[in-house]
Structure 1
């Protein structure tokens, strides 16, 4: 629908126009009324209707003078005049200031409908033209975000000024927004979310009386550039110019976030850049804003992040140690609460340190891999590993990575619980746990069978059935895995390592290592 503003100094006629003409049937709603040109101009500035229907002769400021001022300030508004039969001179003046048409008093409904159809057509043409201009301006902004050529930047600035009908392009603050529609990787869902987002942005800027530019940058990233040099760039309700800096821009961002929470069905993270930049410096402004937005990894989705909250990431190689043995033991004992507590405390520490994203992802993948190998005693296939790698590295936040680790641990404990329902599986799991804990001691099939009260032959049979390997092979795997970890310590001799993992004979250990790994212990150490 289109909005219309009514102006007439005759109160009765004004009320009749407002209440008795069936505007809604014509696709129009009355935005407001005024009794003279001066009163109307003040209200029009706030309401900015599509159409102004004004009487010609009025006290204080007549309709012709009002129309001239409206045309100067809002050249897209459509003007229609009310005049009497004996006021042809005024009609000519009305047409000279760009009126779409005029209505004669007393008003005729048929005539009103005919004139309004013509006016609505003009309104639609203006809207299409403005959308085209806005799209062209947004494309210029998008190019400026990645352009490095000075000549090209100057040409883009010149084109923008022509489109905006301005001599100076102005300065801009940036709200860089990251949209999370929910269905990861679904292009259709993302496209619909971005479309809804841009529509909401237009509504918000109009409602706040803010001059701005909404630019879809790439994927889920959309920038709202607030014009800090515009006369309308004030903080609604306070009159504070955006030039006042961070406090004003940040409050606008908070209102924008609240508006999204009320009207959008997906979360949006907003990075607030405190600085204002001209068109020549938009690329730098954008890079700074991306660095602020990167803090989303630590603070979570759907937040407003400012420069002052942004912190320098901790060095990737200095990840604090995680108590993985205690955690694996908790999982192995089906202690879900303890497993959750250890992971949550650790990730909270990573957030405080701003640990590097890659290091966090690698930690999660390694931990999940150990769950499968050391608890379930199996290795994930290439497809499963690829899927897990994709899931971890596509997480937007450390909280999402934590959730994947915890979910995998819960699933592992469920599978262990199911295994324990099988008597033989439970016994095999018990044997695996004994080997894991005492691998460095002399272990024989007889010593193991005595501890689980089974005959050696029966133990061999059920172990092979449940794990796909012999007890000897499993023991060798555990010992050599531990040996590879110890080889990373250059201060340890190969002889010492052999004894630590349960082999009295160093030569036997070396030959076993070569057979299983394809290299000697010393060659393996050199490759680290």
Structure 2
């Protein structure tokens, strides 16, 4: 029931308003009658009304002044003014105070009921929106680990929007970030025997992943660690240290170094696995996480295929490996060029790309430049393949030990040919997958919607159905159909609702339930947005 106050200095008018209709039928309870605005304000917290029906002109405190004070202290209360005077100043004051109605005395029951129903409809819409917000907040809270992982992946791989407020999203996902901080990225690779890598033993793989996750989560250190498994053999850690009291660079490096030493020792002790670790430089901006990840990967990949546990600081190899590379090559620009080649480039485009970075006369460049360039291109391809739920293994049916291949090349021409074949093969594979596989995925999603539209459906349902990540399947579906998965679901539900409403015996609340809506107000809003008519108007048309 909604609660209403009647405020009027005329007792007869108060009685008339209180008895003019059956308020119970409108789900309204009269919780008080007062002779002026001051009395109403004095008792406002006791009566706690949703609606106030107030005279404009009253002694002690008139309705306009009462409304002005209520707007500050109780902004959610809806006020309807009544008056014997059709005066401009009164009407203007009512509009300025966001009044929900202005009726002239004496009024008929229908006039008052019409205004009251308007206010009730506003409340019902607000209640529906509030419920939807609460459900969304609950969904986000339940999905927080998945959303955090997706965000970390975007930061590490540089796929966040350039205009996105990274800091705002970080805090929205309830991730800790001190006011002053230092951040590094640690990437480590498991040195598992090749025979173990090919074991088709899911229990072993999941146990390994679970144990490493527990080791990272339970590490006692002065940093907050966020981890992500980027492949079956590779993990990334974002380490954030509170820098409220700045320390010397040497002390800062030692703290991070202690983390990786402890990580190496714990993994060796609990899993008997050696690891190779790449450690980035330090930054004071989380927007640099993509660059830090590239640094850690560069450090890692200098020795990732040697035996035994090793820890490599990017700072140690920076001068030797990147002095002639990063000064000339923008890594993010390189990544976007590779992404464009794999999505819509031709063989001529690939050759131009290779000529740009590795021309025939690149003999003048250092060996470090050639290796750094090749590492960066391969890393970019690997990231793009992961975004498409693919890997080098799926394309080449073998372990693509890139770094060993580079060591075996003797000329620039060998490297150029190898890079061309690598990019072109991956481009053709993804192109064939787009034309063949995506159509089946899209149809599978559509079929699921057609069979389950009356149920509660989430993005996780589609992810389980297709074995695609939520972001990837959303992009695939949008590219194929021109609309999002949930826009398609809503459209299909609305078409089904229109079919059902054509039946004379149909009930709107039943139709809402039958097309998957538990909230009839939400259904009505969606239906009107979709058709331009309310369900009742559509049914009667």
User: TM > 0.5 between the two?
Assistant: no
Who wins on radius of gyration, i.e. which is larger? 1
TM-score (norm 1): 0.27
TM-score (norm 2): 0.26
